[in-house]
Amino acid sequence: MALKLIEQDVTTLRQAYQERKVEYDALRAASRWSGAILYAGTLLELALKVVICKHLGVSKLPAIFQVHDLELLLYCSGQQDSDDFDQALFDPSHGVITYLSQYF
């Protein structure tokens, strides 16, 4: 299977997000949890890249952000200080970190 590279313009990044989301949903529906988790990371990366484009007001993702470094992408997205992001991580009933911490 040949590796398919994703063009780094915002329209293609959004399309790639939508395609991967459909695949993620199908994997979850089929109880294919490892594949779904892998796709979840890809969805997060694509979403951050789209947000960076919007934050910078550009239609093509700058080369410096064409990486698979989630920490860098999150930092550069301009969203790391928002209350919404904190809620997504630590909300008592739906936060990602809250959910994961039950397995510590």
For the stretch 36-53, pLDDT in tens is 888 888 998 999 999 999
Residue 13 has pLDDT above 70, yes or no: yes
Locus of tokens 């698979």: 68
- SS percent in the chain: helix, strand, coil, step 5: 65, 0, 35
Residues 6+ apart with CB under 8 A from 103: none
Neighbours of 74 (CB within 10 A): 17
Whole-angstrom distance between the N-terminal and C-terminal Cα of the chain? 37
User: What pLDDT sits at residue 8?
Assistant: 87
Instruction: Summarize pLDDT for 51-77 with one digit per residue, the tens.
Output: 999 999 999 999 888 888 888 888 888
User: Domain boundaries in the chain?
Assistant: 10-79
